[in-house]
Structure 1
């Protein structure tokens, strides 16, 4: 009977210690979401026509910093979009990139709007007023399919949704926007 009680006690102790080890490993293995900033934004070949059609080539320079000390981040696909009043004006697709732990990567996108019709009259009025003022206000959104990886062990895939706002672009020649911090959601 004493041998049976000893075995049961050993099994319970083993399960408790194993559970604690798994809990500690799970708590210590939390991945950190990278930070993003929009370092520069500029526009070239800008033309907003009388019939509310937009033609422009945006240049967007985005910096990503991998804050995680253990994981490298593989960016499989990155889509950079330029929005105004909730409407997509232009987008560009980039990738792949790899950010080693603790490193920055910088990617440059050139979303292009070609003959984009702005049907919303309020938005068209806003864009026309901003064109006259020679300063455009936009929002840059980045969506990235990523994979966190440690050595050969691959972790779960995520989608990062990055929003950089406000982005003010001067239409005066040679001027670009100032750096803008971005909000990041991981899902």
Structure 2
């Protein structure tokens, strides 16, 4: 016998919707400015709310950006889970990098915090972030090992090096440089970076 879920009040629905808009804006601003340059004023202005209202949801920039990074990792996990089970491992890795680059071009992918950023310390203490990071990394690591066993990815490279290389594409400055040059469409930029990532620079 199913139990009825308690009805969410209109006030709570509005609270959740506003929080979703806050996180979405934080993700975009993290992509545009990175953590250290972003302010809570920037977020409040982007959402169109008073800063006091913003602090009702998140008490600090670190807490807000941690929640945004957790949300991004959850999106990555959902995307990975939706890839066809029968798809070859190297194609799944390529699809993931393509997806990341497309998000990066539209400022939906937060830039990774620098080593001396206060956000990094906060993230390393956030169990939700670390749990999702491990889950995503383990899945990608399995595909890397499988692709190496098949000889599609260089088996002499440590899997961790390959993993970090793929992660780095989600904040690759080459994307911004190519975008600002005005010489290539977004689709061309994604294709070029994918080719250099997976095929390298050596003539074949």
Shorter-chain TM-score category?
under 0.3
Which structure has the greater CA radius of gyration? 1
Normalized against structure 2, the TM-score is what? 0.23
More helix by share: 2
